[in-house]
Structure 1
């Protein structure tokens, strides 16, 4: 099992819309709107490192209105 947290900065006023989009991705287990340097924190889990890379690059980072991301992978 692979687990990660992604810190996301988005365009102003798009936090709720982005959170809604992220929650539709099955691998996203939790999504919180925050205030400060990052607008949204998403927790997601996959079975393999390859799936993790796919989620990051092909699903999450390509969502519209995202300015930047930082991914924090969790190791057991």
Structure 2
């Protein structure tokens, strides 16, 4: 009976370890994608991209987007 409990404990630990490893992998993929996007965008484009992403996230959560009167990045000339 003790061996059965030990086996269940090992399965639970192995399952949890696998889940953590998969989550870390997904985070690494997201980080790589963000770095690729940031390298390809100019500073002004990054600001516009950030605000668009913020607005999209706010809509998904049922919140409000940034007001149009909010001061957004304006490149110096």
What is the TM-score normalised by the length of structure 1? 0.23
**Larger RCO: 1 or 2 (CA < 8 Å, sep 6+):** 1
Structure with greater helix share of residues: 2
Q: Higher strand fraction: Structure 1 or Structure 2? A: 1
TM-score (norm: length of structure 2) = 0.23
Larger radius of gyration: 2
